[in-house]
Structure 1
Amino acid sequence: MADTDINRLKIVLVEKKRTAKWLAGELGKDPATVSKWCTNKAQPAIETFRKIAETLDVDVKDLLCSTK
């Protein structure tokens, strides 16, 4: 199950024409941390998902892979 992508962050960034480095700057996070989120090697905290959604102007559900 570790191979399963939990978030769609990389896809949403491409759709919004933004980079992980830009998002890191907006959130005040280390670019390496955001890179790990984009590759699903790590996951942001639930509160951070909300901040990411607000920053990218998307619903938080758009950042997650559907379970159905």
Structure 2
Amino acid sequence: MKLNRIKDVLGEKGISQKWLAEKLNKSFSTVNAYVCNRQQPSLEMLYRISAVLQVKARDLLVDNDYKQI
């Protein structure tokens, strides 16, 4: 399930995963897991990512309509 839009925002801004990993002081594999939605960043990390990318944190989240299952 896709929960974040980090990959989309990186693409829109022309920023590499390697660059983001360096700015966050995280390994490339951790950032890659976030980008590929294999792992989700903590709320604190989501805010750090948004600050580095200069976007609102909500812009990094998938906007799914709430549907009752």
TM-score, with normalisation over the residues of structure 2? 0.91
Partner of 2:7: 10
Partner of 2:55: 58
Larger radius of gyration: 2
Partner of 2:16: 19
Instruction: Give 3-state SS (helix, strand or coil) of 1:11's partner.
Output: helix
TM-score, with normalisation over the residues of structure 1? 0.92
**% identical aligned pairs:** 38
Cα distance in 2 for partners of 1:24, 1:12 equals 14
Q: For structure 2, which runs of at least 5 residues remain unmatched after alignment?
A: none
Partner of 2:32: 35
1:45 aligns with 2:42: yes
TM-superposed CA distance for 1:42, in Å, is 0.3
The alignment's C-alpha RMSD in Å is 0.6
